[in-house]
């Protein structure tokens, strides 16, 4: 099928097999590599993107659902997420870095909604993201810091 959608505010058109998912289309056809395939079944959040303004796992978004949609990836949100990425660096919240874009996207989604910056609320807000090396404490500290810096 021919797929048309807005990618980081620019219209794109790609020919895709409707069995494919948005993550594959972004990475393999459109050169968007911030979103990564960790589990491929919606458990790890490494492929988080915004679909029509909502945080989703791109590995679970059928190509059919992307038709006509507005897709934002971390590449298109560098300015908006700068304070979060800086906080991740400051708190050593990345080790291998594979999960980091997904965490930054989830943290950005939470903080822009005016979410409570307490550690327990941040933990709950990041319930869809897994990290297998740094551990979560530095990540939660970074998000709390980013929340404070934004105020």
Binding site for other proteins (CB under 8 A): 1, 17-19, 21, 40-43, 45, 48, 51, 54-57, 59-62, 64-65, 67, 106, 109-110, 124-129
Q: Closest distance between other proteins and the C-beta of residue 128, in Å?
A: 3
For other proteins, give the closer residue by CB, 90 or 129: 129
Residue 13, helix vs strand vs coil: strand
For other proteins, give the closer residue by CB, 21 or 74: 21
Q: Closest distance between other proteins and the C-beta of residue 60, in Å?
A: 5
Provide the greatest CA pair distance for the chain.
Answer: 46
Q: Cβ distance 133 to 150 under 8 Å?
A: no
For other proteins, give the closer residue by CB, 89 or 137: 137
CA 131 – CA 88 distance, rounded (Å): 13
CA 48 – CA 37 distance, rounded (Å): 10
Q: For residue 55, is it left (φ>0), alpha (ψ between -120 and 50) or beta?
A: beta
Q: Closest distance between other proteins and the C-beta of residue 19, in Å?
A: 5
């Amino acid at each position: 099928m021919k797929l048309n959608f807005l990618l980081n505010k620019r219209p794109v058109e790609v020919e895709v097999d409707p069995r494919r998912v948005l993550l594959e289309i972004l990475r393999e056809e459109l050169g968007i590599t911030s979103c990564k395939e960790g589990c491929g079944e919606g458990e790890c959040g490494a492929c988080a993107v915004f679909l029509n303004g909502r945080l989703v796992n791109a590995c679970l978004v059928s190509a059919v659902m992307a038709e006509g949609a507005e897709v934002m990836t971390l590449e298109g949100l560098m300015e908006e997420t700068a304070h979060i990425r800086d906080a991740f660096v400051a708190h050593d919240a990345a080790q291998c870095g594979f999960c980091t874009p997904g965490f930054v996207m989830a943290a950005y989604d939470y903080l822009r909604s005016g979410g409570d910056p307490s550690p327990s609320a941040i933990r709950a807000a990041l319930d869809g993201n897994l990290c297998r090396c740094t551990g979560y404490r530095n990540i939660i500290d970074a998000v709390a810091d980013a929340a404070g810096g934004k105020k």
